Structure 1
Amino acid sequence: MKKVSIIGVPEHFNLPWHMAIEEGAFAARGIELEWTDVPEGTGKMCQMLQNGDTDMAIILTEGLIKSITEGNSSKIVQEYIASPLLWGVHVSSKSDYKAISELQNTKAAISRFGSGSHLMAYVNALNEGWDAEKLQFEVINNLNGAVEALTNGQADYFMWERFTTKPLVDNGTFRRLGDCPTPWPCFVIAASEAFLSEKEGLMHHILEIINQYTIEFKQIPSIDRTLANRYGQQLEDIQKWLSITRWSQVQLAPKVVEEVQDTLLHLNLISTENILKPKAFLGLG
């Protein structure tokens, strides 16, 4: 058996991977795929890829692209989720804020710098017409940290995937003021440079298996109930999420790489000298 380590957030997007592992699809091809949840999100996963602590990651597009411009040698081997991610903009249920526009010059909770919650705060500022240079941040590591920070007043708002945080809205911990969708496909499959250079054939086998699962995923009988039960979601929320989510089986388009870089540059999150050609980000040809 060939051991391969893979990381991702503990969210419903990644159920196809868990099903493939649990049903022995990888083992049948001689692959021992070891999954590890990383609740801290993209910033932590970029670090793990760069440090060689994992072979692969299911990771936010914009976070990995920013990390690669900063010297991360990992590559995008395929688009994973082709649809945008809906980032809910949340405040404490006891907060006086009633609209996203009221959050200007307040403090955002982020899992870590370079994470999706960090980068999307800038995208939200751009959408709202705020001065992004004045954004303030409180690092909270994960969702539990966000609950604590918003409840205690250490931060004013928190951006996270809308459906993952929905149970916290339902139980009165958070109040969602609105959504901020990513302007591009939200998740990609990434591999470390070392893994890709040494085991490209194995990478192709892994993609063949997961793509078969994602092509058929929405047609699995009662998959909405399976997701709702496994991730503690309301059935109607999962059904809405399924209706707007599209899995992909193709490589990320070079024009998307350029679009993400252009946006990061506009927000002063990367510098002109760090701009790279799309081929610098993409693996497997």
Structure 2
Amino acid sequence: MINLKVGGVPEHFNYPWYITLKNKEYNKHNINLRWQDFPGGTGQMCKALRNGDVDIAIVLTEGIIKDIAAGNPSKIVQTFVKTPLIWGIHVGAKSTFKKIEDLENATIAISRFGSGSHLMSIVNAYNQGWDISKLKFKVIGNLQGGIDALTNGEADYFMWEHFTTKPLVDNGTFRRVDDCPTPWPCFVVAVRNEVLENNFDEVKQVLDIINEETKDFKKIDNIDEILAERYEQQLEDIQKWLKITEWNAGKPITKNLITRIQNKMITFNVIEEKKNSGMFIKNMYI
């Protein structure tokens, strides 16, 4: 039995992993796959990949590209969710900020530097025409840290996935000022180089299983009700989310796509220089 560790955010995007693990699909192929939740998001997972604490991670595209460019010894093996992620831009319920223009000089809560909440706040600032060099950040760790920082006034706004934070908007903890979609496919699967060298076939088997699950994920009976209950969401919100979300189901990631994303990230000042796009990816489907 080969032991592999996989990590991701505890959000509805990753429910297909829960199903395959619950059904012991990997065990049938002599793979002992263990899941770990990362509530701190992509920055926390990039660190875990570097440290060898996980072997496979379901990470935000922008975060892992930035971290591989900075020396993370991992490769992107495929896109996981090919549609954009919708980032809600949130302020505290009692905040005096009413519209997006009010936030130009405000302090931004981010889970950690290099995380999606950090990089997408730069993308949003660029979209608004603000001076990116003047952005002010407060590191808060995770969603709970964001709630605390906005409630006690340590930070002014916080960007996190729209549907995950919708219950906090509904219950009056946050007010959503606007949305900012990612200008690229949102989640990719990244694997440590050492694991790709030693366990290529097992990683490919893991991908085959999860891709088979995501292919017909939306057709599962009552999947909207299951997700709404598990993630404490309104049924209509989950139905909206299912409508706009598409998984990749096993197509290889191309150098072309990585180049296009790098070009955008340079424009947004998220990375300083473009690297050879081949260094970011490992094609599992040769």
The amino acid across from 2:95 in the alignment is S
Provide the aligned C-alpha RMSD in A: 0.9
- What SS does structure 1 have at the residue aligned with 2:46? helix
Q: Quick check: 1:7–1:57 contact (8 Å CA) kept in 2?
A: yes
CA distance in 1, matches of 2:161, 2:73: 27
> Structure 2: which amino acid aligns with 1:283?
K
Cα distance, 1:265 vs structure 2? 1.8
Residue 114 of structure 2: aligned partner: 114
Output the amino acid matched with 1:280. Answer: M
Distance in 2, matches of 1:107 and 1:151, equals: 13
Separation in structure 2 between the aligned mates of residue 256 and residue 179 of structure 1, nearest angstrom: 24
- 8 Å contact kept, 1:200–1:284: no
Q: Secondary structure at the match of 1:57?
A: strand
CA drift of 1:178 comes to 1.0
Deviation digits for residues 84-133 of structure 1 (CA, Å, limit 9, x no counterpart): 00000000011111111110011100000000000000000011111111
The corresponding residue for 2:72 is 72
- Per the TM alignment, residue 51 of structure 1 is displaced from its structure 2 partner at its CA by 1.5
- Give the match's secondary structure for 2:66: helix
CA deviation after TM superposition for structure 1 residue 253, in Å: 2.7
Distance in 2 of aligned mates of 1:24 and 1:94: 47
Aligned twin of 1:86: 86
Equivalent positions of 1:1-285 (< 5 A) are 1-248=1-248, 249-272=250-273, 275-284=274-283
Quote the offset at 1:255 in angstroms: 2.3
Contact between 2:78 and 2:188, CA under 8 Å: does it hold in 1?
Answer: yes
Unaligned 5+ runs, structure 1: none
Bigger mean CA deviation after superposition, 246-255 or 218-227: 246-255
Amino acid in structure 2 at the alignment position of 1:201 = D
Tell me the amino acid that sits aligned with residue 186 of structure 2: C
3-state secondary structure, aligned to 1:13: helix
Look up the SS of the partner of 2:239 in the other structure. Answer: helix
> What is the Cα deviation at residue 190 of structure 1?
0.6
Q: Which amino acid aligns with 1:271?
A: E
Deviation at 1:200, TM superposition (A): 0.5
Task: Tell me how far 1:29 sits from its aligned partner.
Answer: 1.4
**Which amino acid counterpart does residue 240 of structure 1 have in structure 2?**
K
- Cα deviation for residue 24 of structure 1 reads 1.3
SS of residue matched to 2:216? helix
CA-CA distance at 1:278 after TM superposition: 1.4
Which amino acid in 2 is paired with 1:154? E
Tell whether the 8 Å contact from 2:253 to 2:283 is kept in structure 1 after alignment. no
Distance 2:198 2:50 in 1: 16
In the alignment, structure 2 segments of 5+ residues that lack a partner are none
| SS of residue paired to 1:159 | strand
| SS class of match (1:120) | helix
